[in-house]
Amino acid sequence: MRLIELAPPAGGYALALHGGAGGRVEELSLVEQGAYAEGLTAAHRAGTAVLASGGDALDAVCAAVEVLEDDPLFNAGRGAALTAAGTAELDACVMTGEGRAGAVAASRYARNPVRAARKVMEETRAVLLVDPGEERIAAWGLETVDADWFITPARQRQLADVQARALEPARHGTVGAVAVDVRGRLAAATSTGGMVGQNEGRIGDSPIVGAGTYARDGAVAISCTGEGEAFLQGVVAADIAARVRYLGQSLGAAVEATVTAELDTRGAIGGLVAVRPDGSVVVAHNSPAMFAAFQDGDRVVTLT
């Protein structure tokens, strides 16, 4: 497992994000690696701008994830992985350190699923809504799009190749962000199109509180990516948080212990980004590679 630990920054706030574990998707390998770095940097810039102006951690993670949802290179929003039927079913979750959360699963009409997840948290009594309708999305004041808007030729080729070669569905590819603001408040957001060629209606860990997304003020905010079923069964994000909160483990030690216990034992790969209230960050993955962006001193580092 590769684990990167970063000390608290000087500015009193921090942001880290990921764009999926497992390395670049094989079918998209002709796209220049620099394009991924540019997308990650743009997302990090958007989130950091919110924090630098004194904004909330929730606003920051949503801003970062929205940029990645609009970038067709990443498996979220436009350009997301397609189901076996060639459709896009999108999942997203947001959570604040206060313990509030909202999520959508199999979303088809919200241009930015992360915004829809936030509306679930702020404007309903629910935590998770499945397939919110176009009228509901519009009533929330969010931009709606036709279901075909999410589909790109690259993802159609990818699905055709997976089906033609009878490959197992690709189980990596998710975007997410974690942040702490200048008031010490934490937030996490995660968004995904799921697995290439997945069954219609399949839901992974990303929109499930405690599995792929979790935040708790005073402890940690976490966003995960990887083989969703393993993260669900291991309740990975909540397990890491519990090790920090109740066992007093360092964030790095908690991440390493959980990955070993819940992913390695299942033969699963994935990764995560996490941040503590003091701004210290951990980026970790047991996959061959992971897309990520984070601040290290005066520079923004991207992993591709």
pLDDT tens for each residue of 193-212: 999 999 999 999 999 999 99
Residues with catalytic roles: 174
Count of beta carbons in the 10 Å neighbourhood of residue 248: 9
pLDDT tens for each residue of 123-167: 999 999 999 999 999 999 999 999 999 999 999 999 999 899 877
Q: Which CATH number fits the domain that encloses residue 272?
A: 3.60.20.30
203, 106 contact by CB (below 8 A) = yes
Q: What is the pLDDT of residue 32?
A: 53
Q: Which of 152, 13, 165, 160 is nearest to 75 (CA)?
A: 152
Mean pLDDT of the chain: 94
Q: What is the pLDDT of residue 37?
A: 93
DSSP for the chain reads -EEEEEPPPTTS-EEEEEEEESSS-GGGTTS-HHHHHHHHHHHHHHHHHHHHTT--HHHHHHHHHHHHHT-TTSSSSTT----TTS---EEEEEEETTS-EEEEEEE-SBSSHHHHHHHHHHH-S-SEEES--HHHHHHTT--B--GGGG--HHHHHHHHHHHHTTPPPP----EEEEEE-TT--EEEEEEE---TTPPTT---STTSBTTTEEEETTTEEEEEEE-HHHHHHHTHHHHHHHHHHHS---HHHHHHHHIIIIIGGGT--EEEEEE-TTS-EEEEESSS-EEEEEEETTEEEEE-
Place of tokens 């603001």: 181
Give the angle subtended at the CA of 69 by the CAs of 65 and 72, to the nearest 5°.
Answer: 140
pTM: 0.96
Q: How many percent of the chain have pLDDT more than 70?
A: 95
Alpha-carbon torsion, ordered 130, 131, 133, 136, to 10 deg: 40
Q: Which of 201, 205, 206 is nearest to 266 (CA)?
A: 205
Number of domains in the chain: 1
Buried b (16+ CB within 10 A) or exposed e, 71-105: bbbbbbbbbbbbbbeeebbbbbbbbbbeeebbbbb
Distance CA 158, CA 169 (A): 11
Distance CA 299, CA 224 (A): 23
Q: What is the pLDDT of residue 94?
A: 99
Distance CA 163, CA 131 (A): 25
Structural domain boundaries enclosing 187: 2-303
Q: What is the pLDDT of residue 236?
A: 98
Taking 70 as the pLDDT cut, the residues of the chain under it are 23-33, 169-172
Partners of 301 in the β-ladder: 294
Q: What is the pLDDT of residue 304?
A: 86
Place of tokens 């005066």: 298
Q: How far is CA 110 from the centre of its chain?
A: 17
Distance CA 255, CA 99 (A): 20
Q: What is the pLDDT of residue 169?
A: 65
